[in-house]
Copies of this chain bind each other. A is one copy, B any other.
Amino acid sequence: MMAVLGENRYGKAEVRVVRVDRSQEPHGIRDWNVSVSLAGDMREVHLSGANDQVLPTDTQKNTIYVLAQQLGDVEPEVFALALARHFVDRQPGISRARVQLDSYGWNPIGPHSLVRSGDGIRTVTVVHDEQSGSWVLGGLRELTLLNTTDSEFWGFARDDYTTLAETTDRMLATSVEARWRFRDADYDGGDWAVTYDTARQALLDAFTGTYSYSLQQSLYAMGCRVLAEVPQVCEVRLALPNKHHFLVDLSPFGLPNHNEVYLAADRPYGLIEGQVLADDAPEAGPAWS
């Protein structure tokens, strides 16, 4: 048996950069957590420790700050594309760069004051590959939604270990993690802010508007809605934890509980994952790698 090096990548993770735009009031801010991952001809550093193909992760961090200054007040997708291309275009040994970015929201409460919002974090993933070009995934996570009704769960498969009661009225809550793939990383007049807002609203609308017989059904509806509302998107991937809210049994105390008092459980939780595609979606290439 001989050992061989397989896939590998390296980079700087979680660079926290904040950019203030003072050109108008209220001041705007971009508050990002940026991670870079580079791949290329890295055989030698693994085998002998020779670093001549290794651009230090410290340099990657510096580059994030430099581009934040140079690019100005741009959408995170624009920033991530420029950053990924920078490394592949400039650095001989690098053939692929992946940028992953979290964008934290802030709401103005004065001409130069803001309060951080907490209803979801916008995410961007860009992969730029020497061969196959650029790929953009928009997304969000930690968007917690709840329907107090219009959710049922019954008619499910049963085996010897099934004890769950059927229900025709339950709470349905989840913390949405969604990513959507753009057909074209450089779509004409790309207005990334509009596509983000539209996709986010589509997720809210589909979750809210679906009379649900299973969380899978809601997931599929959410994916379809994003595809329908944002034509630039060709694929949606969703991970939806079922944040169980169990009706508390108050009968030992002689009390009714007409869907009023619930126990919000932590663990375990259901976890529903799925992918919804446009039937004409192009190949994903390394987009999700």
Contacts and interface: CB of A to CB of B under 8 A. Distances in A.
A194 interface: no
A78 interface: no
Interface in A242-289: 242, 245, 248, 250, 252-253, 255-257, 259-280
B115 A118 contact: no
Nearest to A35: B271
A145 B113 contact: yes
Contacts of A164: 56, 58-59
Interface string A50-69: 11111111110111011011
Contact of A146 (B52, B116, B280): B116
A188 interface: no
B62 A161 contact: yes
Contact of A159 (B90, B271, B275): B90
Contact of A213 (B13, B49, B118, B153): B49
Overall SS of chain A's interface: mixed
Contact of A4 (B4, B261, B276): B276
Contacts of A90: 159
A8 B216 contact: yes
A14 interface: yes
A255 B66 CA distance: 8
A48 B217 contact: yes
Interface string A7-26: 11111111111111110000
A271 B11 contact: yes
B8 A273 contact: yes
Given A3-B277, A214-B45, A208 B113 contact: yes
A77 interface: no
Nearest to A241: B13
A241 B161 CA distance: 32
A277 B6 contact: yes
A132 interface: no
9 contacts: A1-B279, A8-B275, A17-B261, A19-B260, A57-B268, A59-B158, A59-B159, A62-B161, A93-B157
Interface of A: 1-22, 27, 29, 31, 35, 37, 42, 45-59, 61-63, 65-66, 68-70, 90-91, 93, 106-107, 109-110, 112-120, 142-150, 153-164, 171, 204, 207-209, 212-217, 219-220, 223-224, 227-228, 231, 235, 241-242, 245, 248, 250, 252-253, 255-257, 259-280
Given A4-B279, A62-B161, A91-B157, 13 more contacts: A1-B278, A4-B278, A7-B274, A13-B241, A27-B148, A47-B217, A56-B157, A57-B270, A59-B161, A59-B164, A69-B256, A112-B150, A116-B119
